[in-house]
Amino acid sequence: MERSKERRNPVATPGKKEIHRFEVGDLVEVYCDHNRDGERVRDWLQGVVVQADYKMVAVQFLEDVYLTDGWMVPDRVLWCQQGSDVIRPATKRRRRTSSRKKKKKS
């Protein structure tokens, strides 16, 4: 049974808006510099939460990601603050790779 992620971890504090707390394994989108069709763009990119605590979230990407000054992040891991505007739950499921599709058919 899949629980609704929106309802899973909302934390309310007096006078504050509800923030979504991410956990390890969550599929997310991060607003960051990356490549699309050979061009550097700043847009939402899908990744997976690989580390999370009450304050921070680390997200692993499959594609190269960059700092705003142009440097590539070698291990493709970016950090965000929990509740930051640059991270949100993924709106689409990740596309399965062709090898995994074949495996399932067999």
Residues that bind other proteins (CB under 8 A): 13-16, 32, 55-56, 58, 65, 67, 71, 73, 77-81
Block residue for tokens 């700043």: 42
Full DSSP string of 21-79: PP-TT-EEEEEEEEEETTEEEEEEEEEEEEEE-SSEEEEE-SS-EE-TTS-B-TT-EEE
Closer residue to other proteins, CB minimum distance, 27 or 84: 84
The minimum distance between CB 15 and other proteins, in angstroms, equals 5
Closer residue to other proteins, CB minimum distance, 27 or 77: 77
Q: What is the C-alpha separation between 67 and 73, in angstroms, rounded?
A: 7
Closer residue to other proteins, CB minimum distance, 55 or 105: 55
Helix (H) or strand (E) holding 15: none
The minimum distance between CB 1 and other proteins, in angstroms, equals 30
The minimum distance between CB 96 and other proteins, in angstroms, equals 27
Closer residue to other proteins, CB minimum distance, 16 or 92: 16
